[in-house]
């Protein structure tokens, strides 16, 4: 009977050892590949057949999302028209464990004729594809994790790691930031956290609940009900923010048996309310709410004028939470 645990552990150990051997291959060829891609004014065209093609698609996606324009071209399709996707300003990154993949070898004369730099990742540094490259990255392995030494397993893992190493080296060289990453991932949670600002989702103008410090608590409650945010700002006679009153404050008044029919808002409001600037990230507003255990922040501009209110529900709707 198959020992599944031992089989799994053996595979992990073999692939871990193979990846560890890559450290010695981050050498002048790796530096050359990085420099060639950094000088590229076009895109990195990644190509590969079979499992190498699948790995190539992932590498292209990683490059593209980390500041290096790239896409995958299937070598078989390139031989039948898709070669037109490649321009003289591009760089080709060819992936082939054998270094002799027919569909890629067929493209070599055309790549040379176009004068396009060829970078390769191969398991054989003496292969035809490796020799035709201006930079060859060695992704050879002693054996596959497959007990038949046939199914691409260790070799594809090592190639993927080399692709990641290349992508991250380029990212650092370009000074690629989290903000840059967010622009290429606008639909993801990270993109929303790094792109959406308070002013994009706050309530503003007539939507902001506001009462004068001279008004009664009853008038404040009517304003809270009308605006539906569970709070109201309290403004001085000089149009300055002096306090805030929330649903939570109302509950505490009831517990204290305060007569809400006669109380003035100035007597029951919370002074020195938490505020935030409209141009900061919405994620910062969330952090401030969590730190203070509150659900609302008053938004003030640079002149300390109230310009909006942001509620936890606004952050939820925007997908920041």
> pLDDT digit string (tens) for 129-164?
999 999 999 999 999 988 888 889 999 999 999 999
Q: Are residues 140 and 60 in the same domain?
A: yes
Q: Are residues 141 and 216 in the same domain?
A: no
- The tokens describing 166, both together, are 């290349």
Q: Are residues 170 and 41 in the same domain?
A: yes
Give the pLDDT score at 191: 63
pLDDT tens profile 39-86: 999 999 999 999 999 999 999 999 998 889 999 999 988 877 777 888
CATH code, 236: 3.10.580.10
Give the pLDDT score at 189: 60
Give the pLDDT score at 78: 80
Give the pLDDT score at 187: 57
Backbone conformation region of residue 149, classed left if phi is above 0, alpha if psi is from -120 to 50, else beta: left
Q: Are residues 241 and 152 in the same domain?
A: no
C-alpha 19/C-alpha 119 separation (Å) is 20
Contacts of 38 (CB under 8 A, 6+ apart): 170, 173, 174
Whether 182 maps to a domain, the answer reads: no
Q: Are residues 247 and 145 in the same domain?
A: no
Q: Are residues 146 and 226 in the same domain?
A: no
Give the pLDDT score at 179: 66
Whether 192 maps to a domain, the answer reads: no
C-alpha 310/C-alpha 97 separation (Å) is 55
Count: domains in the chain: 2
In this model, does residue 11 exceed pLDDT 80? yes
CATH code, 45: 3.40.50.10490
Q: Are residues 129 and 235 in the same domain?
A: no
Strands (E), the chain: 44-48, 70-72, 91-96, 118-122, 135-138, 210-212, 231-235, 241-246, 270-271, 275-276, 296-300, 306-311
Give the pLDDT score at 235: 93
Whether 150 maps to a domain, the answer reads: yes
Whether 61 maps to a domain, the answer reads: yes
Q: Are residues 10 and 140 in the same domain?
A: yes
Domain that holds residue 72: 4-176
């Amino acid at each position: 009977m198959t020992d599944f645990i031992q089989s799994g552990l053996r595979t992990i150990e073999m692939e871990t050892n193979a990846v560890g051997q890559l450290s010695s291959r981050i050498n002048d060829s790796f530096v050359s590949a990085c420099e060639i891609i950094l000088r590229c004014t076009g895109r990195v065209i990644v190509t590969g057949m079979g499992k190498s093609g699948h790995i190539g698609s992932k590498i292209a996606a990683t490059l593209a999302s980390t500041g290096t324009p790239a896409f995958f071209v299937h070598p078989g399709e390139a031989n039948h028209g898709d070669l037109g996707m490649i321009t003289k300003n591009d760089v080709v990154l060819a992936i082939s464990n054998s270094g002799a993949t027919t569909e890629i070898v067929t493209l070599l004369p055309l790549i040379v004729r176009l004068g396009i730099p060829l970078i390769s990742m191969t398991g054989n540094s003496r292969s035809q594809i490796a020799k035709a490259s201006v930079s060859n990255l060695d992704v050879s392995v002693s054996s596959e994790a497959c007990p038949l030494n046939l199914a691409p397993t260790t070799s594809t893992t090592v190639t993927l790691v080399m692709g990641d190493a290349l992508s991250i080296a380029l990212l650092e060289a370009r000074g690629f930031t989290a903000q840059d990453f967010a622009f290429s991932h606008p639909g993801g949670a990270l993109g929303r956290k790094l792109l959406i600002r308070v002013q994009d989702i706050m309530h503003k103008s007539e939507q902001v609940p506001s009462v004068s410090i001279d008004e009664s608590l009853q008038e404040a409650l009517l304003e809270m009900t009308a605006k539906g945010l569970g709070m109201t700002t309290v403004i001085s006679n000089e149009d300055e923010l002096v306090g805030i009153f929330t649903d939570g404050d109302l509950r505490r008044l009831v517990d204290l048996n305060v007569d809400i029919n006669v109380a003035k808002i100035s007597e029951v409001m919370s002074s020195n309310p938490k505020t935030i600037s409209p141009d900061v990230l919405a994620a910062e507003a969330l952090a401030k709410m969590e730190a203070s255990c509150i659900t609302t922040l008053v938004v003030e501009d640079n002149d300390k004028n109230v310009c909006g209110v942001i509620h936890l529900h606004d952050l939820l709707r925007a997908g920041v939470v």
